[in-house]
Structure 1
């Protein structure tokens, strides 16, 4: 996959296996996983398997989560992007989900919004996705604020595996 997106401060690029150490730094932090089921990774092999899964999504669906890298330092600070969901979630199947996850030390700098905004633009204008979806833990105020700032509308809430989520939708008004 040779797609890359750029924002004023970020480069969004496909995952490489060399990103495993940065993903381990991200996903081994319990604070990062507070609203993700509290299951931080414990071995870098889990990150390598995750990267392999994402790279398979590129091949199968032509899209997937991308690395978020700071342009000025080339530091990998997390991931953001689209995922084509083929399993049922909140009575939906075969839909595009937008998501993001950043290292804790980079929270509060607007990077997640900046990356997500680039992906919303790409999803709606380039891919012509009819509706973009997202789900977020009801207590994750930062992420809920980002989705609302992107223009996504909270439609309902649902519980999956004991966790309650808000369900967001953004219809594509340009098609």
Structure 2
């Protein structure tokens, strides 16, 4: 597993039990989930169960999301990171995607871009991944702009399982082939 690391304003570390309240605040907010097609959490136990799944991925050595906090204060902002997806999306399975989800008061400050770029760099550097994908609902302009700013290239539009149009992005590792 990677060690905690930092970018200019943010620190990234594995999610742990103290983050359950922050995860519940994040995933119980309908504004945060607007483009995700999932209902808001109604019970903190759901956040604890999600946290247990992430920690299971850590134990298995699979890429999974990490906590994002402000370096200056240690305040929990949300999560970001890489994730191994086994379920097919856009005709692909067993791919690594970069993702981020921040508490609403922290939107529009460049944190999503900073976190996405940091994880893309770690994925290509420390993990030597050959390809990292990202996807967002086609109408979610802010998330699509982040994917483009961090260096992913638009590949195609596709319909998600629920019929909602989504945009698919990818980036190849720019380093030497292993």
- Whether TM-score is above 0.5 comes out as yes
| Long gaps (5+) in structure 1 | none
Output the TM-score relative to the length of structure 1: 0.96
In structure 1, C-alpha distance between the alignment counterparts of 2:119 and 2:38, rounded to whole Å? 26
1:27 aligns with 2:24: no
1:2 CA drift (Å): 5.9
Aligned to 2:165: 164
> Aligned with 2:125: secondary structure?
helix
1:97 CA drift (Å): 0.5
Query: Is the contact between residue 77 and residue 103 of structure 1 (CA under 8 Å) also seen in structure 2?
Result: yes
Cα-to-partner distance string for 1:115-143 (whole Å, 9 max, x where unaligned)? 11110000011111111001101111111
- Cα RMSD (Å): 1.2
The number of residues matched between the two structures is 175
Cα-to-partner distance string for 1:80-110 (whole Å, 9 max, x where unaligned)? 0000111211111111110000001000111
Matches within 5 A, 1:27-106: 27-106=27-106
1:169 CA drift (Å): 0.5
Output the TM-score relative to the length of structure 2: 0.94
Cα-to-partner distance string for 1:120-172 (whole Å, 9 max, x where unaligned)? 00001111111100110111111100100111111111112222110000011
Query: Is the contact between residue 11 and residue 70 of structure 1 (CA under 8 Å) also seen in structure 2?
Result: yes
Cα-to-partner distance string for 1:9-49 (whole Å, 9 max, x where unaligned)? 11100010110101111111110011011511111111001
Query: Is the contact between residue 5 and residue 118 of structure 1 (CA under 8 Å) also seen in structure 2?
Result: no
1:7 aligns with 2:7: yes
Query: Is the contact between residue 15 and residue 67 of structure 2 (CA under 8 Å) also seen in structure 1?
Result: yes
| Long gaps (5+) in structure 2 | none
In structure 2, C-alpha distance between the alignment counterparts of 1:140 and 1:87, rounded to whole Å? 22
In structure 2, C-alpha distance between the alignment counterparts of 1:119 and 1:110, rounded to whole Å? 14
Query: Is the contact between residue 100 and residue 116 of structure 2 (CA under 8 Å) also seen in structure 1?
Result: yes
